[in-house]
Amino acid sequence: MEIIPGPDFPTGGIIRGKENLKECLETGGGGVQVCSKYEIVESKTCNSLIITEIPFGVVKKNLVFSIDKIRVDKEIDGIIEVRDESGRNGLRIVIDIRKEAKLDAVISYLMKKTKLVVNYNYNMISICDKKPIKLGILPIIDFYVKHEVEVINRRTKFDLAKALARHHILEGMVKAISNIDELIRLVRTSHSKEEIKQRVCETFYLDMDQAEAIVTIQLHRLNSVDVQQLIDEVEDLKKKEAEYESIIDNERKIKSIICSELEEINKKYKTPRLSQIKEETKEYVIDNQPTIKEDVMVSITRDGYFKRSSIKSFDSSEIEYPTLKQGDIIFGIGKFVTDQTILCFTNRGNFIQASVYQLFENKWKEEGKHISTITNLKGDEKIIKVFDVKDYSKDAYIVCATKSNLIKRISLSEFKLDKFNRAVCYQKLKDDEDEVIGVDICDGDSFICLVSSNGKAIQYHESQVPVIGLRSAGVKAMKLDDKTTVEGMIAMNKDEKENIAVFTRQGGVKAFNPYTIQLMNRTNKPYELYKYYRTEPHDTLTMIKTHDDYKYYGLVNGTIINVEFENKHSPAGKNMRNTLIDGTGSFDAITSTPIQVIDDSFKTYQVSEKEIQVSVEEEIENTKTIFDYLNDIGNDEN
């Protein structure tokens, strides 16, 4: 590699991976990384990334366009402007970056997402012995030398044959011109060219090729000077013939000729090396953290349309929520910092951990983009719960319930992902008709409230729900018949004082204080929250925690309406009335905008020493065998 260090591209660039390059040269296959050459210039207003060399084969115009598209689409924050300042002095692309932006993160993103870095694959196929073979650099050189030896041999033989033919013609011409008087007499007494040629051959003992050359000779060449030139040319040809004969099949001389010819080419076409070679390849990793930390407003819709807007855009807008597509409803609005993550749950049992800074940025009045643009989430999934989790290490649990009457708890730490924006299953569903109807957070001493489609409700301590893995199905949530489904689930922590409101599709609402309801076992028969009549049914839509400061929105026949109701608890068992909408419509969804935050203010339940002791005693009691009981009885009798 000291003689042939690697390829030298006409556009320069930096070739990374000396070991990979060595493998390519040895085997004829493999790949190398070619990076653009750049420098960073700092100024008072910004940092400028100046690109002076790009990989071979990359079209500069397309490269500048792709970088500017990243700026326009705000795929990454911090890029102010992209300019092409190329001219007589060479290539120059300038990217201005904000001072407060993470320069390394911006560079890594551009290198990863554009053709500032290109991987070239080696596939050195050569036609050797009339068949294609993949060869390394040394076998290629061997075959090249072998080919050059053959070429020089053939070339020399050709030159020798040409010299011999010329020598032969010149000998005839010298012989004829030396007897010029006889030659003139033959020409004057002959009647045609063919007769002259025949008589010349007979008189001077020459062949027809020599006779042809003599007949076509011009008169001015018959002087003594031209005759001497012919004699000198014959002598020169004799020397060349001897040299050619000494070269043919002489490997030493042929290789010497090859070397001299290559040196001549090197002198004639020598140019300075443009591409630099670096030892190691460089892996450009896109950091999940933003280049600039700033406060933004995030909006989330039920159909999965996310976006972030600047605080300035939000404050200057006079609307409560951004533009939505027909049939969609706002699901959550919250203030975030761009380095935060959002934990989102869908009705199809999947969750994603999305980076705020990777969300589509737009003005507050305008529509967002579907989350499927940055993740593998399906387009028909609905968002049912969103958390702002700042601390995944808390001893808390995510509880979820399905329409088919299954419930389970999962440790919050299991939702911390190494790879963002990847949909992961958290709940197995029974069939295509089944879905997750509720997701909430438990602090270790919470109680869970569920409501069925026909107005039956139950409330029990979270300890009755086992803590299991992400993909497990769970246990039965409440006692129901086969035709009834679960439609709502909420977890209430002991420091929460809110009421719970149950909404029906027909426009009914019932608010109640969960602390006034007796806790039961999960397998107990649920109590009647409101009267359910088949002739005038009120089918439960959902249940929501209420707060005087919250705003509630309802989706009725594809139109969003503000939902206002009296947040005052009413006794159970009463008839449900249509108080929110008239009889011509029905609710498709009810949402409230606040996004629950899990941070230091979220206190998890700490088990006391007395409870630990009771738990240990219960565990010992549960593990006793019949023999242990017999021993205890015997000890009591003694």
Query: pLDDT tens digit string along 106-139?
Result: 999 999 999 999 998 888 898 888 889 888 888 8
CA angle, 227 as apex, 222 and 228 as ends, to 5°? 150
Question: What stretches in the chain show pLDDT beneath 50?
Answer: 610-631, 633, 635, 637-638
How many CB atoms within 10 Å of residue 521?
A: 11
Query: pLDDT tens digit string along 196-226?
Result: 889 888 888 888 988 888 888 776 666 655 7
As a whole number of angstroms, the distance between CA 360 and CA 372 comes to: 11
Query: pLDDT tens digit string along 371-381?
Result: 888 888 777 88
Q: What is the pLDDT of residue 624?
A: 46
Q: What is the pLDDT of residue 610?
A: 47
Helices (H) and strands (E) in the chain, counts: 12, 35
Q: 221-228: which pairs have CB atoms within 8 A and are 24 or more residues apart? A: 222/177, 222/180, 227/174, 227/177, 227/178
Q: What is the pLDDT of residue 346?
A: 94
Q: 130-135: which pairs have CB atoms within 8 A and are 24 or more residues apart? A: 134/27, 134/28, 134/29, 135/28
Q: What is the pLDDT of residue 1?
A: 65
Query: pLDDT tens digit string along 505-563?
Result: 989 898 888 887 888 999 899 988 888 888 788 899 999 998 888 888 999 988 888 88
Q: Which two tokens stand for residue 403?
A: 């329409």
Determine contact, residues 60/84, Cβ cutoff 8 Å. Answer: yes
Q: What is the pLDDT of residue 220?
A: 63
User: Within 13 A of 93's CA, how many CA atoms are on the CB side?
Assistant: 19
Instruction: Tell me the DSSP string of 242-280.
Output: HHHHHHTT-HHHHHHHHHHHHHHHHHHH------EEESS
CA distances from 148 to 64, 139, 160, 256 (A): 45, 14, 18, 11
Q: Which two tokens stand for residue 463?
A: 């300890």
Determine contact, residues 488/543, Cβ cutoff 8 Å. Answer: yes
Query: pLDDT tens digit string along 388-432?
Result: 988 888 889 999 999 999 999 999 999 988 777 788 999 999 888
Spell out the alpha helix ranges (H) of 217-367.
224-247, 251-269, 311-316
Query: pLDDT tens digit string along 469-479?
Result: 888 889 999 99
- Sign of the C-alpha dihedral computed for residues 514, 516, 521 and 526 taken in this order: negative
Provide the β-strand partners of residue 531. Answer: 575
Specify the residue for token string 């003992």.
Answer: 205
Measured between its terminal Cα atoms, the distance across the chain in Å is 93
Residue 63: name the closest of 118, 120, 122, 119 by CA.
118
Q: What is the pLDDT of residue 320?
A: 79
Determine contact, residues 312/387, Cβ cutoff 8 Å. Answer: no
Q: What is the pLDDT of residue 449?
A: 94
Is the pTM value of this prediction over 0.85?
Answer: no
Burial 450-473 (b: 16+ CB within 10 A, else e): bbbbbbbbbbbebebbeeeebeee
Tell me, what DSSP letter sits at residue 224?
A: H
Under 8 Å CB-to-CB from 578, ≥6 apart: which residues? 506, 507, 508
- Sign of the C-alpha dihedral computed for residues 497, 498, 499 and 500 taken in this order: negative
Instruction: Tell me the DSSP string of 30-95.
Output: EEEEEE-EEEEEE-SSEEEEEEEE--TT--HHHHHHHHHHHHHHTSSTTEEEEEE--BTTB--EEE
